[in-house]
Structure 1
Amino acid sequence: MAYDMKPFNRDYFDMSPSEMFRDFGRQFFSNFPETKSVRTDIKEMEDRYELNAELPGFTKDAIDVSYENGLLTIKAENNMMNEAKDNEGRVIQKERSFSNVKRMYSISNVDEDNIDASFKDGVLSLSLPKLEKNKRKSIEIKEG
């Protein structure tokens, strides 16, 4: 019985170490969950901050937004591998993946009770109203 010494159908004896590592990494890591970054635009207006975050491939229900202690957190999880079975024909190949993202932003002076969020065409839009100047807590500094 002969054994094939070519993992992934490649002859690693004819490759440089960097080619071997790159090829092995591509094969090895292709089976792990994908983690992506959230591309974000943040604008400061006079009365609010406007944030647009790209979350393509996610649904509104898969996104979680929270704001606590001056920290805005956006999390999204997409598990396309658990899709409903197709009763039409035989599935030969399924190219869906599990992906998740999490991004945190330090944004202070936000009226957290009036944050507005919407999601359309893969873009999460947040309007973060600023606290009114007279609502800011000012601390008096005493001598001594």
Structure 2
Amino acid sequence: MAYDMKPFNRDYFDMSPSEMFRDFGRQFFSNFPETKSVRTDINEMEDRYEMTAELPGFTKDAIDVTYENGLLTIKAENDMMNEAKDDDGRVIQKERAFSNVKRVYSIGNVDEDSIEASFKDGVLSLTLPKLEKNKKKSIEVREG
């Protein structure tokens, strides 16, 4: 009786240890939920910051944006457990069961009461107005 020594259809005896670990990691971790980063662009204007963040596959209700102590946090969570069923409720194929993202940005000098956010076509847009700078006050010097 012959046994096939090729787990995951790979011959591990012909691989270096680093290749073996990398391939095993791909196989093992492919079943776990993904945590991805949020791709963002931040532009500084004279009176505000403008930020766009890519959140494809999320809905507006799945997104949570907070600003506290100079830290802007963007979190989004998707739970797709009820997708991809046929008429009898059997799962046909499920490749996206759960995903979440979270990113924290340090952005100071923001008027937190005036932050505006909108979400369209998988892109979160934020406008973060700056606090007014203290204006220079000219002080008159008198004699005496």
Q: TM-score, normalised by structure 2?
A: 0.82
Q: Which residue of 1 aligns with 2:43?
A: 43
Q: Which residue of 1 aligns with 2:53?
A: 53
Q: Which residue type is aligned with residue 77 of structure 1?
A: E
Is 1:94 paired with 2:86? Answer: no
Structure exhibiting the larger radius of gyration computed from Cα positions: 2
Q: Which residue type is aligned with residue 117 of structure 1?
A: A
Residue correspondences, number: 135
Gap change, CA 1:84 and 1:125, over 3 Å in 2? same
In 1, the alpha carbon distance for the partners of 2:111 and 2:86 equals 46
Q: What displacement does 1:82 show? A: 3.5
Q: TM-score, normalised by structure 1?
A: 0.82
CA contact (8 A) 2:85 2:92 kept: no
Q: Which residue type is aligned with residue 6 of structure 1?
A: K
Q: What displacement does 1:81 show? A: 2.9
Where do 5+ consecutive residues of structure 1 fail to align?
Answer: 136-144
Q: Which residue of 1 aligns with 2:114?
A: 114
Q: Which residue of 2 aligns with 1:9?
A: 9
> Secondary structure, in 3 states, of the residue corresponding to 2:81?
helix
Where do 5+ consecutive residues of structure 2 fail to align?
Answer: 136-144
Q: Which residue type is aligned with residue 123 of structure 2?
A: V
In 2, the alpha carbon distance for the partners of 1:26 and 1:84 equals 24
For residues 38-61 of structure 1, give each alpha carbon's deviation from its aligned partner in whole angstroms, at most 9, with x where no partner exists: 111111111111010111111111
CA contact (8 A) 2:70 2:106 kept: yes
CA contact (8 A) 1:62 1:76 kept: yes
Q: What displacement does 1:3 show? A: 5.7
In 2, the alpha carbon distance for the partners of 1:88 and 1:17 equals 46
Deviates more, 1:92-101 or 1:1-10: 1-10
**Superposed CA RMSD:** 2.3
